[in-house]
Amino acid sequence: MTERPDPGPTPVGGRSDRAADRPLVAVLDYGIGNLRSAQKALQRVGADARLTADPEVVAAADGVVLPGVGAFGRCMEALAEVGLADVAAEAVRDAVAGGRPFLGVCIGMQMLFEGSDETPGVPGLGVLPGWVRRLPDGVKHPQMQWNVLDWRRRPSIAVHLPEPSWVYFVHSYAADVPDDLIVATCDYGGPVTAMVERGRCRATQFHPEKSGAVGLALLRGFVAECAASSAAGSPSPREPHPAYRT
C-alpha cells in the first residue's frame, strides 16, 4: 500500500497548545510496534494525534488510542514498564461509562481482556470480560489478509462504512468474549471476533490504519466522536490517575 504523506509533527502538551479545531487524541506510546502509523492515520482524518507516555497529556485528551502489534505478553510488560497500564485501564473504564472515546487496535484490543493463551502467565488489563485464544486449527496462522466484516450491529463510529467493509488483519489469536460485546466478526475457519464495543470503548482486531478508505472512515468516525464529546462539555482537563499525581 502506498505510504500516506506525513501531515507533520504535532506539539507536545495539553489543551492550551493543541492544533486549532482538532480534537486531541492521545496515542499511547509504550515503545512497541509502528505506533506512528496509527498517529499519522488519525492526523489525516482530522485529529491532533500525539504519541505520548505522559499521563497528564492522556488526562487532557478528548480520546485515547491503544495500538499494538507483536506478542501479548511483551506488549503488556512494556505498557507497565512505561507506567501506562493503569492509565489505559482508567481510560477504558471512562469510555465504558460514557466518557471520552477509547479505541484499541489489534494487540491493543487483546490487552483489554483478562489474558491470552499466547502468554498465560501474563494478565491482561481485565477491563472487559473475555479471554484471547488461538485461531482454530485448519487455517493458516497468522491470518494475514484482507477480510470482510460481518456486522451484528453498527457502532456510531462505523455508520458510514461501505458494505461490504473490507479490512486488513494480521493475527494468530482472537478474543473469545460475551456476545453482547461483539459488533462485527469475520469468517476465518468460523466466526472470529473482529470488533467489540461497550459504551464509548471500541476495539478492533483488524488494523484501521492499514485498511484503506474503510479504515480511514472508521477513524474519521472516532475522531468526530472525540470532537463532539469535547464540544459537549466533557470534563476537561481530567485529573491524572492517582498513581501519577505529583
72-81 and 85-96 are packed helices; what angle lies between their axes, rounded to 10 degrees?
100
Q: Which residues are the active-site residues?
A: 106, 207, 209
Cα gap 42→204, rounded to integer Å = 15
Q: Long-range contacts made by residues 134-141, C-beta under 8 angstroms, separation at least 24? A: 134/172, 134/173, 135/171, 135/172, 135/173, 135/174, 135/188, 135/189, 135/192, 136/188, 136/189, 136/190, 137/189, 138/189, 139/188, 139/189, 141/172
Q: Which of helix, strand or coil describes residue 230?
A: helix
User: What residues does 195 pair with on adjacent strands?
Assistant: 184, 204
Cα gap 30→148, rounded to integer Å = 30
Cα gap 197→180, rounded to integer Å = 8
Residue the block writes with cell 464529546? 229
Side-chain half-sphere CA neighbours of 106 within 13 A: 27
Side-chain half-sphere CA neighbours of 57 within 13 A: 21
User: What residues does 176 pair with on adjacent strands?
Assistant: 131
